């Protein structure tokens, strides 16, 4: 039995759990039925929540309580500080990986940089030491900072582990699967940012994607100035709730007609048919970054409209 699963089971036991409500990210879907059976085999009743779960900001204690569950098992995330009326056990679900073959194959892309800052997601925190050792063996200086539970660990919306060391590094290397974490970071830093993608087995930069997103944001900002009818989007997910009433007042003093639209997961389809010139997003700050092209109406967050 894997060690992080053992720890999660020990925590469930310490909470005297009987019926467990399991939330998991999309990446674990193929394994979720086996996980459910493994948990059941240790004596718990299990309800698997199939609603999308993008982070530990999404704690479904209302739903779990309604279904008679007494504890939540949150897989693939770590505690984000969101409140919950039920105990929540976080199972990080570390994914063992060896980045060395990719580093060996792609090292020339890191050659120009003397000091490299590392960042990664919770699943791959175990790779950080291997990457550090490899780079140091090649004469590089390597920096990490601990802002969350583990060194170099970032979230889609919490990048301090990287931004704190930005003045001291020549570039960042983000170790992850896919572009999600790297994209969050490249938009926040002026330093070169390379992704070590454990899924594709490559090291690449996101310069092109950054430029494209910055262009869309600039266009959205210009459209917002002339927008007459504005929708403020809020989510009631535990860790995403921000009250929109002050923002509404401020926008109204600028002559806008403002509506507050609330939903669970924010998607462009839910806004179809509404008469809106622009959207201000108060929920997950990654909405309108990763899927900006899906929104036909200019979408901005508070920082982008200067509030
Ligand atoms: S707010 Fe968004 S980026 Fe932050 S943890 Fe939640 S889903 Fe991830």
DSSP 294: G
**Pick from 4, 203, 11, 196: nearest CA to 88:** 11
- Asked if 138 and 234 sit in the same domain, the reply is no
- Asked if 159 and 183 sit in the same domain, the reply is yes
- Asked if 83 and 108 sit in the same domain, the reply is no
- What is the pTM assigned to this prediction? 0.92
The domain that holds 275 is classified in CATH as: 3.40.50.11860
Percent of residues, the chain, with pLDDT higher than 70: 100
- Please, what sign has the CA dihedral across residues 225, 305, 178, 142? positive
Q: 192-237 pLDDT, tens per residue?
A: 999 999 999 999 999 999 999 999 999 999 999 999 999 999 999 9
- Asked if 82 and 179 sit in the same domain, the reply is no
From ligand 1's centre to the CA of 239, what distance in Å?
8
CA dihedral 302, 303, 304, 307 (to 10 degrees): 60
- Asked if 243 and 197 sit in the same domain, the reply is no
CB 36 less than 6 A from any atom of ligand 1 = no
pLDDT of 306 reads 87
* Averaged pLDDT score across all residues of the chain: 95
Answer whether 93's CB lies under 8 Å from 53's CB: no
Q: Which numbered atom of ligand 1 lies nearest the CA of 184?
A: 3
CB 181 less than 6 A from any atom of ligand 1 = no
pLDDT of 91 reads 97
Q: 107-129 pLDDT, tens per residue?
A: 999 999 999 999 999 999 999 99
- Asked if 174 and 241 sit in the same domain, the reply is no
From ligand 1's centre to the CA of 113, what distance in Å?
31
pLDDT over 90 (residue 81)? no
Domain that holds residue 34: 3-91
From ligand 1's centre to the CA of 98, what distance in Å?
27
pLDDT of 307 reads 85
- Asked if 163 and 142 sit in the same domain, the reply is yes
State the CB neighbour count (10 A cutoff) for residue 188.
15
- Asked if 215 and 123 sit in the same domain, the reply is no
From ligand 1's centre to the CA of 148, what distance in Å?
14
Structure tokens at 159: 């990048």
pLDDT average, residue stretch 231-248:
95
Q: Which numbered atom of ligand 1 lies nearest the CA of 77?
A: 5
Q: 131-164 pLDDT, tens per residue?
A: 999 999 999 999 999 999 999 999 999 999 999 9
CA dihedral 235, 236, 237, 243 (to 10 degrees): 80
The domain that holds 119 is classified in CATH as: 3.40.50.11850
| Ligand 1 atom 2: residue of nearest CA | 284
pLDDT over 80 (residue 178)? yes
Which ranges of 197-281 does DSSP label H, i.e. alpha helix?
Answer: 207-226, 245-253
Which of 142, 177, 205 terminates a domain? The answer is 205
Helix or strand holding residue 299 (H, E): strand 299-301
State the CB neighbour count (10 A cutoff) for residue 96.
9
- Phi then psi for residue 45, to 5 deg, are -85, 145
Structure tokens at 74: 């949150």
Q: 276-301 pLDDT, tens per residue?
A: 999 999 999 999 788 877 888 999 99
Structure tokens at 302: 């508070």
pLDDT over 80 (residue 53)? yes
Confidence tier at 86 by pLDDT (50, 70, 90):
very high
pLDDT over 90 (residue 88)? yes
From ligand 1's centre to the CA of 286, what distance in Å?
7
- Asked if 58 and 147 sit in the same domain, the reply is no
- Asked if 114 and 86 sit in the same domain, the reply is no
Which of 173, 205, 237 terminates a domain? The answer is 205
**C-alpha distance from residue 202 to each of 96, 105, 176, 196 (Å):** 17, 8, 11, 6
Count how many domains the chain has: 3
State the CB neighbour count (10 A cutoff) for residue 211.
10
DSSP 101: H
The domain that holds 19 is classified in CATH as: 3.40.50.11840
| Ligand 1 atom 8: residue of nearest CA | 55
From ligand 1's centre to the CA of 58, what distance in Å?
8
| Ligand 1 atom 4: residue of nearest CA | 157
């Amino acid at each position: 039995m894997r060690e992080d699963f053992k720890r999660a089971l020990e925590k469930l036991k310490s909470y005297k759990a009987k019926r467990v409500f399991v939330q998991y990210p999309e990446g674990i879907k193929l394994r979720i039925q086996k996980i459910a059976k493994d948990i059941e085999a240790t004596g718990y009743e299990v309800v698997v929540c199939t609603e999308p779960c993008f982070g530990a900001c999404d704690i479904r204690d209302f739903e779990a309580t309604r279904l008679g569950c007494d504890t939540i098992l949150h897989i693939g995330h770590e505690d984000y500080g969101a409140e919950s009326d039920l105990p929540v056990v976080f199972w990080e679900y570390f994914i063992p990986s060896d980045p060395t073959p990719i580093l060996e194959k792609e090292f020339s892309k890191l050659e120009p940089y003397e000091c490299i800052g590392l960042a990664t997601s919770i699943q791959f925190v175990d790779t950080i030491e291997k990457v550090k050792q490899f780079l140091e063996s090649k004469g590089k200086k390597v920096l990490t900072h601990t802002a969350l539970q583990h060194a170099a660990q970032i979230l889609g919306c919490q990048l301090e582990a990287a931004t704190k060391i930005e003045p001291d590094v020549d570039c960042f290397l983000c170790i992850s699967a896919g572009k999600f974490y790297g994209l969050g970071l490249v938009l926040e830093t002026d330093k070169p940012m390379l992704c070590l993608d454990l899924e594709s087995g490559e090291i690449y930069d996101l310069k092109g994607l950054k430029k494209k997103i910055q262009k869309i944001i600039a266009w959205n900002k210009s459209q917002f100035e002339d927008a007459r009818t504005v929708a403020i989007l809020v989510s009631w997910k535990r860790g995403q709730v921000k009250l929109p009433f002050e923002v509404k007042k401020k926008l109204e003093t600028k002559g806008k007609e403002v509506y507050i639209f609330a939903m669970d997961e924010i998607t462009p389809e839910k806004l179809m048919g509404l008469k809106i010139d622009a959207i201000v997003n108060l929920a997950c700050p990654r909405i309108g970054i990763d899927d900006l092209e899906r929104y036909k109406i200019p979408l901005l967050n508070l920082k982008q409209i200067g509030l």
